Amino acid sequence: MQLIIFGPPGVGKGTLSGMLSSKCKIPHISTGDIFRNEIKSGSSELIQYVEKGLLVPDMVVNKIIEKALKNEAYKNGFILDGYPRTIEQAEFLENALWKLKKKIDLVLNLVASEEQIIKRLTARRNCGKCGAVFNLITIKPKKKDICGKCGSALVQRKDDEPETVRKRIQVYQDETAPLIEYYKKKKLLADIDASPRPRQVFNSVVEVVEKEIPQQQ
Q: Is the pLDDT of residue 215 over 70?
A: no
The predicted pLDDT at position 57 comes to 83
Q: What is the pTM of this model?
A: 0.74
Sheet order of strands, 154-155 included: 133-135, 124-127, 154-155
Contact 142, 41 (CB under 8 A): no
Active-site residue flag, 13: yes
Active-site residue flag, 36: no
Catalytic residue among 23, 36, 157, 167: 157
The predicted pLDDT at position 216 comes to 45
Residue 61 lies in a domain: yes
The predicted pLDDT at position 217 comes to 44
Active-site residue flag, 157: yes
Catalytic residue among 36, 70, 120, 124: 124
Contact 4, 16 (CB under 8 A): no
In this structure, the number of other CB atoms found within 10 A of the CB of residue 28 comes to 21
Section 179-189 average pLDDT: 93
Active-site residue flag, 129: no
pLDDT digits 0-9 by tens, 13-27: 888 888 999 998 999
CATH of the domain at 185: 3.40.50.300
* pLDDT more than 90, % of the chain: 33
Task: Give the number of domains in the chain.
Answer: 1
Residue 208 lies in a domain: yes
DSSP 193: E
Catalytic residue among 142, 168, 185, 187: 168
Section 92-116 average pLDDT: 92
Residue 148 lies in a domain: no
Provide the mean pLDDT of the chain. Answer: 86
Active-site residue flag, 167: no
pLDDT digits 0-9 by tens, 48-61: 776 777 777 888 78
Residue 138 lies in a domain: no
Residue 103 lies in a domain: yes
Q: Is the pLDDT of residue 109 over 70?
A: yes
Residue 133 lies in a domain: no
Q: Rounded to the nearest 10 degrees, how much is the dihedral formed by the CA atoms of 14, 16, 18, 24?
A: -140
Residue 185 lies in a domain: yes
Instruction: Give bridge partners of residue 143 from the DSSP assignment.
Output: 146
Q: Is the pLDDT of residue 214 over 80?
A: no
Residue 198 lies in a domain: yes
Instruction: Give bridge partners of residue 80 from the DSSP assignment.
Output: 4, 29
pLDDT digits 0-9 by tens, 125-167: 999 889 888 888 878 888 888 999 999 999 988 888 888 888 8
Q: Which domain holds residue 67?
A: 2-112+176-216
